[in-house]
Chain A
Amino acid sequence: MFQLIIHPDQLVVIYHRDSFFTIIIPLLIKIIQKFFCFCKRLYIIPLGENARKRHYHEADKGDIIGFAVQLEVLVNDQWKVVIRYDSAHGFAHIDRYYLDGRKVKIELHLKLSEALTLGDEDIKENWKIYQKAFLEGK
């Protein structure tokens, strides 16, 4: 009657259109997603000219268990990371990148959810300043 396919980050169910599953299955999917939460999200949003934000987070029942939010700017037809708020290596931190290839790590003594909020807010407020500084090699 229907086929269940589980991907790492989403649940897909293929079913026949003319059955009562047409109504039941989408409801079941919503319930399963709510309680077991297949929640890995990765998307890109343009911020402005030659600047974009890449957002990744992983959640378990509403709690953030991993994230990476980074500002990328276009330099010579290549997207370069300028600043990244990240939870890799088990703790929240900032990786600041420079045009000459240097990278500076700053530890954040924050909960992952707080660090994610901080990253989103900081990039929202300051992306132009970061972009300018990066392009000037500062």
Chain B
Amino acid sequence: MINILERKHAILVTEFDRYVVEHPEFAVNIPRNAQIVLQVEGDEKYNEWSMQLAERQREIDQSVVYVKVKGLKPARSRLLKPKVAVA
């Protein structure tokens, strides 16, 4: 069975990576090798799961950065100028 929290987390992680690449100023204060803990506004179940997972993996003296998001925008196509050619 699909673990919904894990699935949601995987999507959030990918979106976070993209956001950091696209908004370089956003992550300027994140220390090197910091552990990122994602939190979603209003989703206590996910937040608790995410926090506990991070705590289990945290290394001694590792910096922790909590990133709280309001949610996700609907997924959009990333294709660049596709063209249709009917055979």
Q: Which residues of A contact B (CB under 8 A)?
A: 9-10, 30, 33-34, 37-39, 41-50, 52-53, 55, 57, 59, 62, 64, 69, 74, 116, 120-121, 124-125, 127
Task: Flag whether B30 is at the interface (Cβ < 8 A).
Answer: yes
A47 near B9: Cβ-Cβ < 8 Å: yes
B28 near A45: Cβ-Cβ < 8 Å: no
Give the residues in chain A near B22, CB-CB below 8 Å: 62
B78: nearest chain-A partner, CB-CB: A117
Closest 6 CB pairs of A and B: A39-B24, A124-B10, A45-B36, A124-B14, A46-B53, A42-B32
Q: Which residues of B contact A (CB under 8 A)?
A: 3, 6, 9-11, 13-14, 16-18, 20-22, 24-25, 27-30, 32-38, 50, 53-54, 56-57, 62, 65
Question: How far apart sit A137 and B35, CA to CA, in the bound complex (Å)?
Answer: 28
A46 near B14: Cβ-Cβ < 8 Å: no
A80 to chain B, nearest CB (A): 14
Instruction: Provide a sorted-by-A list of 16 A–B residue pairs whose CB atoms are within 8 angstroms.
Output: A9-B32, A34-B24, A39-B24, A41-B30, A43-B34, A45-B16, A45-B35, A45-B36, A46-B50, A47-B9, A48-B9, A49-B56, A53-B13, A59-B24, A62-B22, A120-B18
A10-B28, A53-B13, A124-B11 in contact; A44/B34 too (CB < 8 A)? yes
A39-B24, A52-B57, A116-B21 in contact; A44/B33 too (CB < 8 A)? yes
B24 to chain A, nearest CB (A): 4
A50: nearest chain-B partner, CB-CB: B57
Question: How far apart sit A45 and B24, CA to CA, in the bound complex (Å)?
Answer: 18
Contact of A44 among B20, B28, B35 (CB under 8 A): B35
A45 near B6: Cβ-Cβ < 8 Å: no
A41 near B20: Cβ-Cβ < 8 Å: yes
Question: How far apart sit A127 and B6, CA to CA, in the bound complex (Å)?
Answer: 11
Residue of B14, B24, B25 most packed against chain A (CB within 10 A):
B24
Question: How far apart sit A44 and B21, CA to CA, in the bound complex (Å)?
Answer: 15
